[in-house]
Structure 1
Amino acid sequence: MSSAKKLFRINELNVRVYNSDTELAKDAAQVVQKTLDSTLKVRETARVIFATGNSQLKFLNALTSLNNIDWSRITCFHLDEYLGINAEHSSSFRCYLREKLEKKVKPQKFHYIEGDTLEPLKECDRYTQLLHSQPIDLCLLGVGANGHLAFNEPSVADFQDSYMVKLVKLDTVNHQQQVTQGHFPNLESVPKYAFTLTIPTICSAKKILCLAPGQHKAEVVKQMLFGEITKKFPASILRQKPQATLFLDGDSATSLDM
């Protein structure tokens, strides 16, 4: 049974509010477990896209602590990766997910975007083929300070994108967010380009969970739920997706007049 203190819907988007980020993480992990269980009852494997960032830390810890998920039947992907840094770089999303997920649960396969590839466009094609081979059962998300999903910044987001994976230039808001969150020591060290799954790829998942805990997400959440649905605030597209659920804690819900 969910520990959410409030459940409601904005347009098509389901919203859950919890007393704390710990309760949020635990319940989101249980939702993932139930989703995977139901998928594996009807299919041999399940395919999941994982997010990175501070919003995912407690959730990933809760998820990897569960002992009733058959990870040997789960194939994993991730949302994005910087161009030009290798998998051992401390700020690489491959490094993050290997340490916080793959090494702990040992899934059947983890398909990583190779950020240090010498041929970025071929890497987009390779990852597109992997994603396209079967439907995505579950996508985990966070939401950025400018409303971005993955690296779909307002400057490059496209709700009708014809690509599944693309290479984009990161904007100044995103650069500052990476420094503020401690991923890079200064703005000069943040890569200028990154790979990202596109908005249509994200929205094609059968189930979408977006985790947005913390006081610093309060205004972002308000804009996401009550602002215009526009690519100028990419996360607003989730209000058109009935398979999506937004997870909030008491801090990130403080700007909601409900």
Structure 2
Amino acid sequence: MSVAKKLLKVNDLDVQIYNCEAELAQNVAKIAQIYLQNVLQQNGSAAVVLATGNSQIKFLENLTALGGIDWSKITCFHLDEYLGISAEHPASFRYYLRERVEKLVKPKEFHYIKGDTLEPLMECDRYTKLLQAQPIDLCCLGVGENGHLAFNEPSVANFQDPFRIKLVKLDKVNHQQQVNQGHFPNLESVPKYAFTLTIPMICAARKIICITTGTHKAKIVQQMLQGNITTDCPASILRKQPQATLFLDKDAGALI
């Protein structure tokens, strides 16, 4: 394992900054591997929430290639999903995780949010029951350009949310981010609503790994770590989570 370029603590949040994304991904994958090995040894099973997006690709490549994890004892969930697109849509998070995780490691179960459901409120109820069935041992995250965690945008984030999963309207910043990252060809094609795990559900995880990379994330990372802890930057709540670590490459951490 390579050594982080810089280590710091902001309130309760540990922060590690690496020279490049490749080093970061290798180290975080190893940290996740060792943690899951320990959880499986102690409990015989584990539950993991996985994130999507460009910041997660190299991490997931490394994690699934490492070996040494008995995925047949791991139940997987995911953070969010668009409303109204099928599991075969290339921008679907189900598609992303099926191709990058499920097909490669074959976990015990992968509970997907059914984005193309005809009854979205019933889907929230169904997924809530699945989440309630066991504690979440590991939650993986990224940080959006507006500071969102999953689809908890500043406009809908609630640090005392009573729900585990909810349906939200996406804001314009998020719409543009999806186009910029190549997930959709234009703004009109981006779904207007999505399912998201809530902030309290994310923070209930026993361990949180948050990966953020690229110069385009530097300003929001600065706000996340140096601004007020508020839903104006939902990711700032991680500063109150001693079980969380934020992993940055030097570009995302350039203003810290």
TM value normalised by structure 1:
0.98
Matched residues in 2 for 1:204 and 1:35: separation? Answer: 17
The equivalences for 1:224-235 within 5 A come to 224-235=224-235
Query: What is residue 212 of structure 2 aligned with on the other side?
Result: 212
Query: What is residue 24 of structure 1 aligned with on the other side?
Result: 24
Deviations 1:29-84 (A, max 9, x none): 01110110110111121000000000001101111110111111110000000000
Query: What is residue 169 of structure 2 aligned with on the other side?
Result: 169
Deviations 1:165-220 (A, max 9, x none): 00000000000000011000000000000000000000000000000011111111
Matched residues in 2 for 1:16 and 1:2: separation? Answer: 12
Matched residues in 2 for 1:216 and 1:35: separation? Answer: 30
Please give the secondary structure, in 2, of the residue aligned with 1:174.
helix
Is 2:218–2:251's contact at 8 Å kept on the other side of the alignment? yes
Matched, 1:239 2:250: no
Query: What is residue 40 of structure 2 aligned with on the other side?
Result: 40
Query: What is residue 8 of structure 1 aligned with on the other side?
Result: 8
Matched residues in 1 for 2:232 and 2:150: separation? Answer: 14
Matched, 1:180 2:180: yes
Any runs of at least 4 consecutive aligned residues in structure 1 with deviations exceeding 3 A, and if so which? Answer: none
Query: What is residue 251 of structure 1 aligned with on the other side?
Result: 251
**Cα deviation, residue 122, structure 1:** 0.4
Matched residues in 1 for 2:168 and 2:217: separation? Answer: 24
Query: What is residue 131 of structure 2 aligned with on the other side?
Result: 131
1:98 partner amino acid: R
**Cα deviation, residue 2, structure 1:** 5.2
Structure 1: any 5+ residue segments left out of the alignment? Answer: none
Matched residues in 2 for 1:105 and 1:215: separation? Answer: 32
Structure 2: any 5+ residue segments left out of the alignment? Answer: none
2:243 partner amino acid: Q
Q: Number of aligned residue pairs: give it.
A: 256
Query: What is residue 62 of structure 1 aligned with on the other side?
Result: 62
Matched residues in 2 for 1:111 and 1:254: separation? Answer: 37
**Cα deviation, residue 3, structure 1:** 2.0
Matched residues in 1 for 2:133 and 2:9: separation? Answer: 32
2:171 partner amino acid: D
Query: What is residue 115 of structure 2 aligned with on the other side?
Result: 115
Please give the secondary structure, in 2, of the residue aligned with 1:9.
strand
Please give the secondary structure, in 2, of the residue aligned with 1:99.
helix
Matched residues in 2 for 1:109 and 1:49: separation? Answer: 12
Please give the secondary structure, in 2, of the residue aligned with 1:209.
strand
**Cα deviation, residue 110, structure 1:** 0.3
2:119 partner amino acid: E
Deviations 1:85-143 (A, max 9, x none): 00000100000000011101111110000000010000000000000111000000000
The equivalences for 1:61-100 within 5 A come to 61-100=61-100
Please give the secondary structure, in 1, of the residue aligned with 2:121.
helix
Please give the secondary structure, in 1, of the residue aligned with 2:99.
helix
TM value normalised by structure 2:
0.99
